[in-house]
A and B are shown apart, each in its own frame.
Chain A
């Protein structure tokens, strides 16, 4: 034990240590408060994360653990812990405001294991890049590896840290009256840079009475001076000034005669970064299919 090179044993012990540390944190400071990561905190945390990764890269010949983290012996136990914790999440009812296993996303052991995976990913990507720049590997051959690993790294970091900046509000729009106030998730009223007036609510049903179509014909006025008439359908949101407008609900008592339409407005400034990661992984998956997986790992 702890004789170099480290094996799966050390890998599982380190992961177990992280889970233990997570449990201590959960006991002492309570669950993670993700709302605290709103801009600029998430920008600072992300920069600090990169500084930490860079420091680990520089210290890799002095601190064996940092070098070891780019091996399968580190990565596989970390993934095993992640799978086990996620299975527990899948088997337990998740609740907003729940604690411990009932709110896995804010449970320290769960988050620490995923952060550990992200660190391993970052260090592994850096090691591969160094090899490419030293000419030990060809860039062309490593494109699939980069798409898969860097794509996942980008998606994981930006989706997690960007989440606190996502705004989701509901706007209850009536016919003939432009609305610029919206309800936040907690119920607070928020003034929006967009006003929306409902022109007509559309509800169509199949012969058996089951719903076929929900849509709202709306007029949008923005603070930036835009005046737009459009229709918002389920599955067909409309985007204006960084806000995506979704058909969300209606007056269910009135049905097709509903005089109001509930729209959801979503703004997610980090979305382009997350999508960059997702598209890279999509391209990476195509590479796995085309060139075979052995060259992508």
Chain B
């Protein structure tokens, strides 16, 4: 199995997810579950066969991590759907997954079998997979924030009095997404620390990737603490979520283009060889 076969799995999975999204709009819950799960299985079977044929987990290049991202988005969407029955969530997660699939189809990067010794560790898979799941969930939270800020504009008032009453469901779902995302972000970061001790001799070296991971983590901490305040400005809170997600992009891929991080990060594997 190789990247040449990706397009067939991708088309099949996206079609299944699309049917699931449509079924959710039409309140055909059972069908929505069935097709989304089937799509996930198809997509995961590609990841798995890549894993087998590469003889290493497909987690090293940006293209490979996008693979996981495209997988986790519909999965996160499905979890949210099963808990809160949002009609639109599956459409949203499908469109996002499609974006990442298209990036992989039209901008393929060099993929090879080799996995350098620094990455051969049992920590590798959990560290990256947990992070990708966190990114997917926090991405969903950022879209919820944009929805509440700009699309459902009339609903949210800046005054606490109105905020108490309107959009409680949407606000709760956004908070829950952030909690789940932050939990996984924390686990991913600490797994990284434990791995770094085994690989590089120290659990935290303020490598640019680590610095930006700390920034992202702190930014989401500010959001959840601010939301605890009985009297706070809702719109400001949602802006915080968008800002935090921008910081997360810096951590994920932005540092590859950051002059201050050039040549000093031990995290740039795919570029260094």
Contact = CB atoms under 8 A, between A and B. Distances in A.
A59 interface: no
Interface in A242-279: 244, 246, 264, 266, 268, 271, 274, 278
Contacts of B5: none
Contact of A93 (B112, B228, B260): B260
A198 B211 CA distance: 37
Nearest to A117: B218
B202 A166 contact: yes
Contact of B215 (A86, A206, A212, A268): A86
Contact of A278 (B120, B194, B222): B194
Interface string B53-83: 0000000000000000000000000000000
- Residue among A90, A93, A94 facing the most chain B CB atoms (10 A cut-off): A90
A90 B222 contact: no
A14 to B, nearest CB: 17
Contacts of A171: none
A278 B203 contact: yes
B183 A285 contact: yes
Given A80-B222, A293-B178, A87 B199 contact: no
A73 B205 CA distance: 31
Interface in A132-188: 159, 166, 168
A76 B222 contact: yes
Q: Which secondary structure dominates chain B's binding surface?
A: helix
Interface string B181-200: 01110110010011001111
B117 A90 contact: no
Contacts, number: 129
Could you say which interface size class chain B belongs to?
A: 35 or more
B273 A210 contact: yes
Contacts of B151: none
Contacts of B222: 76, 79-80, 83
Contacts of A213: 117, 120
A214 interface: yes
Given A83-B218, A274-B203, A76 B226 contact: yes
Contacts of B178: 293
B102 interface: no
B152 interface: no
Listed from nearest, the 10 A-B pairs whose CB atoms lie closest are A293-B179, A234-B117, A285-B186, A289-B183, A288-B183, A235-B121, A266-B201, A93-B260, A210-B114, A206-B114
Interface of A: 72, 75-76, 79-80, 82-83, 86-87, 89-94, 105, 159, 166, 168, 206, 208, 210-214, 233-237, 244, 246, 264, 266, 268, 271, 274, 278, 281-282, 284-286, 288-289, 292-294, 297
